[in-house]
A and B are shown apart, each in its own frame.
Chain A
Amino acid sequence: MNIDDIKRAENVVCTKPRLLNDNNMHYCPGCSHGVVHKLVAEVIEEMGAEHIAIGIAPVGCAVFAYNYIDIDWIEAAHGRAPAVATAAKRLNPDRLVFTYQGDGDLAAIGTAETIHAANRGENIAIIFINNAIYGMTGGQMAPTTLEGMKTSTTPYGRRVDLNGHPLRITELLAQLPGTCYVTRQSVHTPATVRKAKAAIRKAFENSMKGLGTSVVEIVSTCNSGWKMTPDKANKWMVDNMFPFYPPGDLKNTAAEK
């Protein structure tokens, strides 16, 4: 069969989602943000929610998320995305409201907003990209940085006696009665990407059904900050991040409601 006969519109099995526009993403080559942006665009497209979706962009690497996905966005102050999402969802209960935050935004500066929004059980979906580092500002230590991990502010590795323990904020949020679905996923292989997409879809559906707060943590890589190639960063993530941040569902009460 000729290759031009194969390359026809009716034979397409996978392509760039329509909602992901043609702007070149500013992310470093191999960054997990790109994959998650693609998944968010695909899920919103499949749900037919492009006219009712409101994304809350964070401060951090994903600050320009509004440039890449063609839906309505609000840019929140640093860490305040769940607070902004609370207002957006309360005023527009029929809209799909989600936040897209990194670990510096959600687990450091915005801890209070995150915990209280989840504790109030706001009907929002929170997508949490955890790469254990402050990527945008140059690879400083984040609350989620692993013990012994080298960053630009902990050049000899994170010390528990000096810097405290890494923060498993997703486990913390799973204990709150306001959350209905808390899960941890990753996007380093085709199979995990598909699972992460299903998790994001479930979170968005919970938000539309009004079941409470859904949190999808994506354990991610920051190959520039970790100073590795994208492939090596994925392997490092499996070897070092997964023992402390094991993937899987932490809580799913949405099925019971």
Chain B
Amino acid sequence: MAKFIGAVDINMERCKGCDLCVVACPCSVLSLQPKEVNNRGYHYAFAANAEACIGCAACATVCPDGCITVYRVTKQSE
């Protein structure tokens, strides 16, 4: 099991829907909106499978527009 849990915040108005974060994500968290578009007409990225995120920041590292903020916490042992 992953030791970290993460979350992503995506600035949907800044996103251009280039798909690079979707390809870079190792846990298949992200996806492009199939129908909705932002004000500039792009199918922006969103966390379709948010609970799988481990906060590795691969998406934010490759994002050309710096739209993604990644949060990470260490999982508490239960």
Contact = CB atoms under 8 A, between A and B. Distances in A.
Contact of B64 (A14, A30, A194): A30
Contact of A25 (B19, B60, B62, B65): B65
Interface residues of B, number: 36
Interface in B31-62: 40, 42, 50, 55-58, 60-62
Contacts of A14: 57, 60-61, 68-70
Interface residues of A, number: 37
A228 to B, nearest CB: 12
B20 A231 contact: yes
List 10 A-B pairs, minimum CB-CB distance, nearest first: A34-B64, A30-B18, A16-B66, A29-B16, A29-B18, A14-B57, A14-B60, A11-B71, A15-B69, A6-B7
10 contacts: A1-B5, A3-B50, A11-B73, A14-B57, A25-B64, A32-B64, A35-B62, A35-B63, A38-B66, A190-B24
A11 B71 CA distance: 5
A34 B62 CA distance: 9
Contacts, number: 98
A14 B61 CA distance: 8
A29 B42 contact: yes
Interface of A: 1, 3, 5-8, 11-17, 20, 22, 24-25, 27-35, 38, 187-190, 193-194, 229-231, 234
A193 B60 contact: no
Nearest to B42: A29
Nearest to B7: A6
A231 B19 contact: yes
